[in-house]
Chain A
Amino acid sequence: MKLEDLKKIREKAAKDIELRQKNARVKIVVGMGTSGIAAGAREVMKALLDEIAARNLTDVMVTQTGEKGLASHEPMIEVHEEGKDVVIYGNIDAEKARRIVAEHIVNHNPVTEYVIEVK
């Protein structure tokens, strides 16, 4: 594989580049402070990225932030959706992260059993 192959991907996506450069419909923020990383935030982030790639979710963006101040609930993720309350999930692992993508992000049903706060 060569990086030049990215040009083909770019050409294929050319028609909706402008749309993708606008704000994403959903932003998922993963807490990647020291305690988050030690608790497995990297594996959670990787699972989220795998799901986004596999499901071709062009309107979902995953990003990271530092310490969230609730180390005992790490790894934590926040789901920000336009016009909706922010949902914070705690004690997440890769499998739970995949479930959140399927149920919350794709089917719009938050996974209440993992929710620690809604704001």
Chain B
Amino acid sequence: MMDEICSHIADLIVNSISAEAKHIKVTIEKSKINNELSLKVSDDGKGMNESILKQVIDPFYSTKIGRKVGLGIPLLKGTAETCGGSFNIKSTPGRGTEIAVSFPLNHPDLPPLGNLKDTILVLSVSNPEVDFTFHIKNDVVNFTFDTMEIKKMLDGLPINSPEVIKFLKDYLDEHLDFFNKQ
């Protein structure tokens, strides 16, 4: 069972990496005005055909043997539905997958967001060959963390170098404070 929204985000990103994505875009928006927490993860990975997509949403859909499908997406869909939110998945073979989920912010069953800063840091640094663009928004502030921009600044110095990890940790602490406060 996933006890935080950030665990679901990490799970979706790991799925994208398993699908050989090279660029993963994540948008997280918290709006008190609209009473909504929305989450979108899109990738340029290998995508899925209709049959796999159905099985990913419902792991008991197919009786075919030998196709391994995890429980991460059904768990996320279940959480969204329990909270009266929405869940959408689109995928095109050879082009990628996009998953969009929303939750009413004031629903008592909405899991806590969890540690967004650590989630971004851990995934960006442990997958140096993948590019990530995180858009984090609330009603007032909009923050983008883009590893392509970071790698350009680093000009060959690996993103998983100790001093870069330390810098990014402090940078995220400073710039994502707004999201946890609202």
Q: Show the binding face of A for B, using Cβ within 8 Å.
A: 1, 3-7, 9-10, 12-13, 17, 20-21, 30, 32-34, 37-38, 42-43, 45-46, 49-50, 52-58, 61-64, 66-67
Contacts and interface: CB of A to CB of B under 8 A. Distances in A.
Interface residues of B, number: 45
Interface in B11-57: 11, 14, 17-18
Contact of A62 (B17, B72, B149, B160): B160
Question: Which of B2, B6, B122, B158 is the most central at the interface, judged by chain A CB atoms within 10 Å of its CB?
Answer: B122
Given A1-B167, A66-B17, 7 more contacts: A6-B154, A30-B126, A32-B126, A34-B2, A42-B10, A53-B163, A67-B70
Contact of B171 (A1, A45, A50, A64): A1
Contacts of A30: 126
B7 A38 contact: yes
Contacts, number: 112
B100 interface: no
A38 to B, nearest CB: 6
Interface in B105-153: 115, 118-119, 121-123, 125-127, 149-150, 153
Interface of B is mostly: helix
B2 A37 contact: yes
B81 interface: no
Contacts of A6: 150, 153-154, 164, 167
B4 to A, nearest CB: 9
Interface in B154-173: 154-158, 160-167, 169-171
B145 to A, nearest CB: 9
A90 to B, nearest CB: 19
Contacts of B126: 30, 32, 45, 49, 62-64
B65 interface: no
B89 interface: no
Contact of A21 (B18, B70, B156, B171): B156
Contact of A3 (B2, B11, B171): B171
A49 B153 contact: no
30 contacts: A1-B174, A3-B153, A6-B164, A7-B155, A20-B157, A21-B156, A21-B158, A30-B126, A32-B10, A32-B14, A34-B70, A34-B75, A42-B119, A42-B122, A43-B118, A45-B122, A49-B122, A49-B125, A49-B126, A53-B163, A53-B165, A54-B166, A62-B125, A62-B126, A63-B126, A64-B14, A64-B17, A66-B17, A66-B18, A67-B68
Give 7 nearest A-B pairs by CB, closest first.
A6-B153, A34-B72, A53-B166, A53-B165, A45-B122, A53-B162, A64-B126
